[in-house]
Amino acid sequence: MKRILIFLFLCGFLSVTGTVSAQSSRLHIGGYGEAVAQRMFYSDNPARYWYPESNKDATHGRFDLPHVVFYLSYDFGHGWKVSTEIEYEHGGAGSTYELEIDEAGEYETEIEKGGEIALEQFWIEKSFSKQANLRMGHVIVPVGLTNQYHFPTEFFSVLRPEEETAILPSTWHETGISFWGRTDKWRYEAQIIAGLDAERFNDANWIQNGSSSPYEFKIANQYAGAFRLDNYSVKGLRAAISGYFGFSARNSLKSDRYVNAQGEPINGSVTIGAFDAVYDDHHVLARTNVVYGHLGDSYTISKVNKKMPSASPSKRTDVASDVFSWYVEAGYDVLSFFPERKQQDQKLYVYGHYGYYNSMYKTVESISAKGWCEKTIYSAGLNYFPLRDVVIKAEYSYRQFKAPYNNEPTLSLGIAYSGLFM
């Protein structure tokens, strides 16, 4: 049934836009996808952080399709353009069973999205000039490095860097309005979008789940703003700052629960600031990203969420007032030592990665931070590009905790593509 619906969608899209042969310069079809195999040299017991001594010397493995995305875009002319992305996550399941860490290993049905197919982007854009473009619809929120550059050919690790994806939505997409433009040395973007849902915040992932909705619509009682500013002044270097601010406490179906001790409604303001940079020159590819986030009224949000009924989408855990993450990675194309090779577009990066994140970096006095929420990440590996749009990855990563928790090494293999089919 799903295949039939996708086929009908494509046929309908092509019938509106015209035949491919006649309109090939206006129609673009593409996408990206990843296939991953992993062996984790640690326990998958959801209680491993509560009983670390009893969960040593365990291993487990996984095969996964983290993201498979199909992209369609059509230029109507006169500055008007439509674009959409249809995404399958983890094979496209709309609901799954999970063993919940925060519920002593109980089975729980986890609703990841409202349907089996996620519409990651759908927007209509009016371009007035290179410097001024207005995009309206479902858009990517460009906060942090990975949200803006999330194709699998744009990061070294087999999976997206967890320093960002563990605390921020990824890929973060919301419905709203975006104004963006580009000059020779700058790119800028500002957005007005729906706010996050505080009911879905938690200790391990902070606001990550707050952008998704288990309903057939996105609650937008409160709004938010996001921005990004990129600079290209230095050859081979792109540096950027990005940020977000919005209220979250009244973006749930039962928002009247979010009141303080005096019975006054709270805002649950979310503030995020990020810096990222990418250097790509002289056969060196290096990236860095720093994120700091603050949640206002975290005590009240924690107190309310922990009392939610079991049928609620809430994880029912404490939430930190502040989070912090950063990482740096660098790779060198060793095939550059062989300039006479037949295929000059082949690349083989040997890379290293070092990072840190804490989803409970700071908490209010009455909330205790969980030690397992603080992690240091070491990883190293290879990225082989037989073609510009295809990459084969191998990675060894080491997630380090403070005592008494067990460290978590992982060996990962992956193959991915990203590009236009026509």
For position 218, what pLDDT does the model report? Answer: 86
For position 422, what pLDDT does the model report? Answer: 81
- pLDDT surpassing 60 at residue 103: no
Each residue's pLDDT tens digit, 398-414: 999 999 999 999 999 99
Each residue's pLDDT tens digit, 255-284: 788 998 888 999 999 999 999 999 999 999
For position 5, what pLDDT does the model report? Answer: 45
Long-range contacts of 399-402 (CB under 8 A, 24+ apart): 399/375, 400/375, 400/376, 401/371, 401/372, 401/374, 401/375, 401/376, 402/371, 402/374
For position 420, what pLDDT does the model report? Answer: 87
Domain that holds residue 305: 28-420
The total number of structural domains that make up the chain: 1
110/102 Cα distance (integer angstroms): 13
**Is 113 a member of any domain?**
yes
**Residue, of 387 and 14, whose pLDDT is higher:** 387
- pLDDT surpassing 80 at residue 114: no
For residue 379, what are its two tokens?
């990883």
With tokens 């994806």, the residue in question is 165
Q: Please state the separation of Cα 40 from the chain's center in Å.
A: 22
Q: Please state the separation of Cα 193 from the chain's center in Å.
A: 17
Query: For residue 19, what pLDDT band results from cuts at 50, 70 and 90?
Result: very low
**Is 80 a member of any domain?**
yes
394/37 Cα distance (integer angstroms): 10
HEC per residue, the chain:
CHHHHHHHHHHHHHHHHCCHHHHCCCEEEEEEEEEEEEEECCCCCCCCCCCHHHHCCCCEEEEECCEEEEEEEEEEECCEEEEEEEEEEHHHCCEEEEECHHHCCCEEEEECCCCCCEEEEEEEEEEEECCEEEEEEEEECCCCHHHHCCCHHHCCCCCCCHHHHCCCCCCCEEEEEEEEEECCCEEEEEEEEECCCHHHCECCCECHHHHCCCCCCCCCCCEEEEEEEEECCCCCEEEEEEEEEEECCCCCCCHHHCECCCCCECCCEEEEEEEEEEEEECCEEEEEEEEEEEECCHHHHHHHHHCCCCCCCCCCCCCCCEEEEEEEEEEEEHHHHCCCCCCCCCEEEEEEEEEEEEEEEECCCCCCCCHHHEEEEEEEEEEEEEECCEEEEEEEEEEECCCCCCCEEEEEEEEEEEEECC
**Residue, of 394 and 113, whose pLDDT is higher:** 394
Which amino acid, one-letter code, is at 241? I
70, 167, 205 from 357: Cα distances, Å: 31, 9, 11
382/73 Cα distance (integer angstroms): 33
Mean pLDDT over the full length of the chain:
89
For residue 25, what are its two tokens?
């310069």
- Degrees (nearest 5) of the Cα angle 196, 200, 204? 110
Each residue's pLDDT tens digit, 152-167: 999 999 999 999 999 9
220/79 Cα distance (integer angstroms): 29
For position 95, what pLDDT does the model report? Answer: 55
Gyration radius (Cα) of the chain, Å: 22
Q: What is the mean pLDDT of residues 118-131?
A: 94
Burial of 118 (0-12, 13-18, 19+ CB in 10 A): buried
Q: What is the CATH number of the domain that holds 118?
A: 2.40.160.10
